[in-house]
Amino acid sequence: MQEDAFYYLRSLILRIQSTQDDFPSPITAEALNVGQAEPPDAVIEFFRVLYTGSNKPFGDERVDRLVKSMSDDVLFVTTRARTKSGKHLFMGTCIQKFDRKQKGC
């Protein structure tokens, strides 16, 4: 039963990868903020239950941020970096800017 849940979440994520949007040309700040895709609701709900013990919104901004962050990471890892959330696009942009010693981020 556990394995079924794992494969179900994985299939949801991989389905998003196959339907992700291409970036607009030219790329806008809004497109970078949103990213190519958002994690499936089931993944977000999984992490919410993991952190709080309930699938209802917790009302704590820190918990919500952790849930979103972990869900973005799972999307990135499961698709082997082919689908990037806004978090991962922004991090890559900032690292490039800091590496070149530019101001930004």
Residue 103 is predicted with a pLDDT of 56
Residues 41, 73 contacting (CB under 8 angstroms):
no
Beta bridge partners, 35, equal 85
Residue 25 is predicted with a pLDDT of 75
pTM for this prediction: 0.79
Residue 28 is predicted with a pLDDT of 79
| For the chain, percent of residues with pLDDT exceeding 90 | 45
**Owning domain of residue 19:** 2-99
Q: Is 105 part of a structural domain of the chain?
A: no
Q: Across all residues in the chain, what is the average pLDDT?
A: 84
> How far lies 85's CA from each of 23, 36, 53, 80, 102, in Å?
12, 6, 25, 12, 23
Q: Is 28 part of a structural domain of the chain?
A: yes
Phi, psi of 85, rounded to the nearest 5 degrees? -80, 175
For 1-48, how does the pLDDT look when each residue is reduced to its tens digit (9 = 90+)? Answer: 788 999 999 999 999 888 877 777 777 778 777 788 889 999 999 999
Q: Is 13 part of a structural domain of the chain?
A: yes
Q: Is 66 part of a structural domain of the chain?
A: yes
Residues 58, 64 contacting (CB under 8 angstroms):
yes
Q: Is 90 part of a structural domain of the chain?
A: yes
- Does residue 105 register a pLDDT over 70? no
CA separation for the pair 76, 2 (Å, rounded): 22
Phi, psi of 54, rounded to the nearest 5 degrees? -140, 150
Indicate the pLDDT class of residue 67, thresholds 50, 70 and 90.
Answer: very high
Average pLDDT for residues 70-76, to the nearest whole number?
A: 95
Q: How many domains does the chain have?
A: 1
